[in-house]
Amino acid sequence: MSILKQGDSFLYMKVGVHANESLEDIIARKRKEIEDAGVSFWGYGGSSCHPYNAVQPFVKEQTAKGTKVRLLMQEITSRHYAEGLAKEFSPDGKNYYPVPKGVNVLGSRYALVVSTLDPIEEAFSLSDTVVGIGNKEGLSGDQYIRGHVDKACLVYSPGSGLVERKGEIALCLSAELAEPYAVVLR
């Protein structure tokens, strides 16, 4: 796969319908937000990529090594219908600020801060990755991304020998992360 090279770090996320909005509509809205506000907040839930315990430390550690961390997304069939518009965000769990004007985050507890959102047509195997942070660090990506776990901080490590290589998944979107990389919403 040309988008990733040995040792590249990235956030992986499955995406689809969210808060009653199609992925196509979400992408159009997020691109407009980036155009107008310079960034967008890509909302999500779950605990596997908590902003303070996983995303921020992972991105900071990897960027300190000179590695650029991006978000890579796989489209899936989704039925996410939660609603609610975030009004504030916190980069640190102490201070809350208004969500930037022109940015809308629906039905999410957390958000990744992105400065680009580009279509891609790439594929890779999760068995060529390892978890890059937390108590599952070093576990093969295909062993970690299962059931309700649909996102992870990963390192591309083909041939790591942890598991037999399995089928490829198609990626549809790539985004550059912007500081503070991930936030809590309310």
Coil/strand/helix, residue 127:
helix
- 93 secondary structure, DSSP code: S
Q: How many Å apart are CA 53 and CA 92, to the nearest integer?
A: 11
State the pLDDT at residue 149.
Answer: 92
Predicted model pTM: 0.93
Phi, psi dihedral angles at 145 (to 5 degrees): -80, 95
**pLDDT digit string (tens) for 2-30?**
789 999 999 999 998 877 788 999 999 99
Written as six digits, the tokens of 124 are: 């890779």
> Where residue 84 falls among pLDDT bands split at 50, 70, 90?
confident
> Where residue 80 falls among pLDDT bands split at 50, 70, 90?
low
**Residues pairing with 173 in the sheet:** 73, 119
Written as six digits, the tokens of 76 are: 């899936």
Written as six digits, the tokens of 104 are: 């809308």
**pLDDT digit string (tens) for 111-129?**
999 999 999 999 999 999 9
Taking the CA atoms of 154, 156, 162 and 166 in sequence, report the sign of the dihedral they define. positive
Give the mean model confidence (pLDDT) for residues 25-48: 95
State the pLDDT at residue 107.
Answer: 87
Average pLDDT of the chain to the nearest whole number: 92
- 66 secondary structure, DSSP code: T
**pLDDT digit string (tens) for 56-74?**
999 999 999 998 999 999 9
Coil/strand/helix, residue 99:
coil
Residue 91 CB contacts under 8 Å (≥ 6 apart), including other chains: 51, 97, 180, 183
